[in-house]
Amino acid sequence: MRYLLLIFVLAACQLQEMPTPVKVFGHAGNGLDIIKSIYHDNSKEAIELALSLPDIDGVEVDVRMSADGTLWLYHENTLEAESEGQGSLSACTDLQLAPLHYKSLHHERLVRLSEVLPLIKPGQQFLLDLKHWNATSASAVDLMRFKNALLALLQNQSNCVVLITNASSFVPLLTPHFNVVFESGSREELHATLMKYPQLRGVVMRNAALSEADVRAFKAQGKWVFAFDVRASSSQKKALLKGPSSLLSDDPKEALRIRDAMH
């Protein structure tokens, strides 16, 4: 009887020591610039597809503000890069943006953030990568106006979103209201920004530049660690083995398969 009890206790301890599974998010919907995504990044169709995957934790999308102060989803600095439009999204009105479609196989239309927020299911989150640069004026947009647009839209959904920014001046405006993580390609800049703004919840870094030691160091500070730019199965497995808090995957279906096989 004592032997059986000892086995039970040891098994329970092993279960408690198992690492928490890495959260998997679809990058820019169901993937950025990859054939397996089927639909164009940041489109409503791509987001719906990613959020329909069993056990998906959510999606990351790119958010820009129009000249009218409305939040739209779009990745590139210029509209002509991926859509039928011209110039910077930040310099266009909602009336100019509404009829635009992507130059893609399915010809998906550009969508407002407000149109996709209702797609989220219980337990899922949106990671909002805030694109603050106006390529037309070669300057940042009005960050206070951007913040107010976020507050107006997300006032009742702050627990369902995490904001991503690479503008340190944006951090003190956002952190009183939202969970905010900072993105950089430099670990030195990430550590310095965390020192300056300890209220930040975590960091975002390209997987190739992120080591397992980096993950441990940031986690030791109680911070979330998000890794992105992972496509091939081999790179996704290597990224998952580093143990980040979350993976922004360009093939979330495969990432979920690998994660489940590892646990």
- Of 122, 116, 99, which is closest to residue 30 (Cα–Cα)? 116
pLDDT at 14: 44
Backbone angles phi, psi at 167, to 5 degrees: -105, 110
Q: Which two tokens stand for residue 204?
A: 């975002």
pLDDT at 91: 96
The length of the chain in residues reads 263
Distance, in Å, from the CA atom of 100 to the CA atom of 200, rounded to the nearest integer, reads: 35
Rounded (10°) CA dihedral 52, 76, 214, 162? -50
Q: Which two tokens stand for residue 28?
A: 């820019």
Strand partners, 161: 126
Contact 249, 240 (CB under 8 A): no
pLDDT at 36: 77
Q: Give the Cβ contact number of residue 4 at 10 Å.
A: 8
Distance, in Å, from the CA atom of 100 to the CA atom of 258, rounded to the nearest integer, reads: 37
Question: Residue 24 gets which letter from DSSP?
Answer: E
Contact 181, 125 (CB under 8 A): no
For tokens 């670990």, the residue is: 187
pLDDT at 1: 52
pLDDT at 2: 53
Strand partners, 249: 26, 230
Listed in order, strand segments (DSSP E) in 33-172 are 58-65, 71-73, 125-130, 133-134, 139-140, 161-165
pTM for this predicted structure: 0.92
For residue 14, give every residue at least 6 positions away whose Cβ sits within 8 Å of its Cβ, in sequence order, or none: none
pLDDT at 13: 44
Contact 240, 17 (CB under 8 A): no
pLDDT one digit per residue (tens) for the chain, 263 residues: 554 444 444 444 444 444 689 999 999 999 987 777 899 999 999 999 999 999 999 999 999 999 999 999 999 999 999 999 999 999 999 999 999 999 999 999 999 999 999 999 999 999 999 999 999 899 999 999 999 999 999 988 888 999 999 999 999 999 999 999 999 999 999 999 999 999 999 999 999 999 999 999 999 999 999 999 999 999 999 999 999 999 999 999 999 999 999 87
